[in-house]
Amino acid sequence: MSNSTYTVIFYLFAALTVGSAAFVVLTRNVIYSAFSLLFTFFGVAALYVFLSADFLAVTQVVVYVGGILVLLLFGVMFTNSIMIPGQKSEVSNLFFGALLLLGVTGGMLYTFSASPGWKISGKTLQGSIVELVGFETMSHYALPFEMVSILLLAALIGAAFLARFDNKGNS
């Protein structure tokens, strides 16, 4: 494919991502917002593919689409008040949100225009980035990796402790 074809496809995915993200924020129906988040996550994963960040793209799909979005959809679907006809969420603080959007966009545009440019390293990777991430995780960063796993285990035990049904107060 030609370079212009890649550019057109990139802009299509960028428009899909921005449009679905705007729909997530601006819609009043919570179920439509949750399903629109699916397109936002897939659009971000597609942009990662175009940036040659295959590990981040796969992680985006597995973690966010496969985990967080499914959990969010179960939470939305199992909430009884969501299924009441006519129940809509309130979109509030629209003025302050638009003001914050303009401020962040202006700051980003200023940063991009004031930066001297990207510095490209002359070093090229040999093999897949997934292989490199796995090697670095299991060799140089094994201790921090195990510390994070212990922290996540402690958080899981704490969440199970807080969510358990307490029989002492109900008898």
DSSP, res 168: T
Q: How far apart are CA 154 and CA 152, in angstroms?
A: 5
CATH 1.20.120.1200 fits 1-85, yes or no: yes
Q: What is the pLDDT of residue 165?
A: 62
Pick out the chain residues at pLDDT < 70: 80-92, 118-127, 165-171
Q: How far apart are CA 44 and CA 20, in angstroms?
A: 11
Q: pLDDT tens-digit profile of 35-57?
A: 899 999 999 999 998 887 888 88
Whole-model pTM? 0.61
Q: What is the pLDDT of residue 133?
A: 82
